Amino acid sequence: MDFCCSSSVSNFKDKFQKRFNLPEWHFLKSIFSDVIFFGMYNLVDYYRFMWHRGQKTIFWCGGDILNLQRRKWWQWVLRQFKTRHICENELEYWRLLFMGIKSEIQPCLIDRLDNIEISYKHSDKPNVYVCGHQGREEEYGINLVEEIADLTPDITYHIYGVTKEMWFYTGYLGASIDGQMMNVSRPINVIYHGKVSNEQFTEEIKNYQAGLRLNEFEGFSEVIAKSILMGQYPISRIKYPFIDYFKDKIELISLLNNLKNKKEPNIVGRNYWFKELNKEL
C-alpha cells in the first residue's frame, strides 16, 4: 500500500510514514497500487483521488469532513468510486453517512506507541494540557478554559500552540507579589507555552494529570491519545470508550475538580487504547 498525504495536513506526513512504514504515492508509478489518502481537504486531493486506478482508501481527519459538507460535487465524486472510508469516531461516522458515504471507525495515533509509557502521578492540584492554533482559540476551547479557570482554582491549565500577549504592571499599581511582577491579562492558573517541539511536548505532559480536548468536531485527538496511554484521565467533548466525556460547562467543571481524586494510573483505559491504537489500518 502507498500513502498520499493532503498538503493541508503535511505536518503529519513524516510521522504517518514512520508509524506505518508506507512508501509515498506517485501519480505515475503508483497509479495501480493500493493507496491510502490521508486527508481530503482541497481540489488537488480530489484530482489525485479520481486519477488513481488502484484500490482506494480514505482516512478522514475531521476538518475535511466539514469541508465536504459544503461541496455537493465532491460528495457526488466520492460516491462514484468503490472506496474504503475510515474515520475515528461516531460523530464523523454519522456525518459521512448523512452524505451517503459509509465508513469504518478506527481511531489512530500516528506517533509510535512503544515510546509512550505510563507516567501518571497523583496530585491534589492537577495539571491539565490543551493544544490549539493561533487565531482559532474559540474552535479549540481556549476561551472556554479562561472562562472556567477561576471556577477550578486547584487546576493549572497548560496551553500549547498558542501565545498570548502579556501585560505586566509594577508594584506601584498594587499588582506585585513579594516584589515580583504579576501577569494580570489572564487567570493566574492558565499558562501559555506557545509552539514547542513534539519531543518537548511529550516530555512535559508526562508530569500532568489529564489532556483536555474541547473541540466539538474532529478526529481522535493526539492530546487524548497520549494522555490515556500515559495512564492519565483525559477529558473530551467527543465520546470515546474509557475516556471522560462532558456535554456542558457544568459537567466539565465537575470532571476537572474530580481529578484530584484519581489516586492511581488509569490502567484499564490505557490497556484498551493501547490495543485499539495498535491495530493496522
Q: Give the per-residue pLDDT at 210.
A: 98
Q: Give the per-residue pLDDT at 33.
A: 95
Q: Give the per-residue pLDDT at 113.
A: 82
* Residue 33, amino acid: S
Distance CA 154, CA 165 (A): 24
Region 111-124: what's the mean pLDDT?
A: 90
Average pLDDT, the chain: 91
Whether the per-residue pLDDT at 174 is higher than 60: the answer is no
Region 242-258: what's the mean pLDDT?
A: 97
Whether the per-residue pLDDT at 166 is higher than 60: the answer is no
Residue 199: which of 110, 277, 273, 115 has the closest Cα?
A: 115
Beta sheet of 210-213, edge-to-edge order: 190-194, 156-160, 127-131, 210-213, 235-236, 244-245
224 phi and psi angles, rounded to 5 deg: -65, -45
CA dihedral (98, 217, 199, 258) positive or negative: negative
Region 234-245: what's the mean pLDDT?
A: 97
pLDDT in tens, 128-146: 999 999 999 999 999 999 9
Q: Give the per-residue pLDDT at 183.
A: 44
Region 165-172: what's the mean pLDDT?
A: 43
Instruction: For strands 190-194 and 156-160, give the pairing.
Output: parallel
pLDDT in tens, 75-116: 999 999 999 999 999 999 999 999 999 999 999 998 878 789
pLDDT in tens, 184-193: 456 899 999 9
The 10 Å Cβ neighbour count of residue 80 is 8
Class of the CATH domain delimited by 113-277: alpha beta
Q: Give the per-residue pLDDT at 73.
A: 95
Kindly state the cell numbers that stand for 7. 498538503
Whether the per-residue pLDDT at 172 is higher than 60: the answer is no
pLDDT band for position 165 (cuts 50, 70, 90)? low
Q: Could you tell me the residue ranges of all domains in the chain?
A: 2-105, 113-277
Phi-psi region of 40 (alpha: psi -120 to 50; beta: other; left: phi over 0): beta
Q: Give the per-residue pLDDT at 179.
A: 40
Residue 224: which of 109, 138, 120, 143 has the closest Cα?
A: 109
Measuring CA to CA, how many Å separate 105 from each of 59, 72, 136? 10, 23, 27
243 has which bridge partners? 240
Distance CA 184, CA 163 (A): 15
Distance CA 195, CA 162 (A): 7
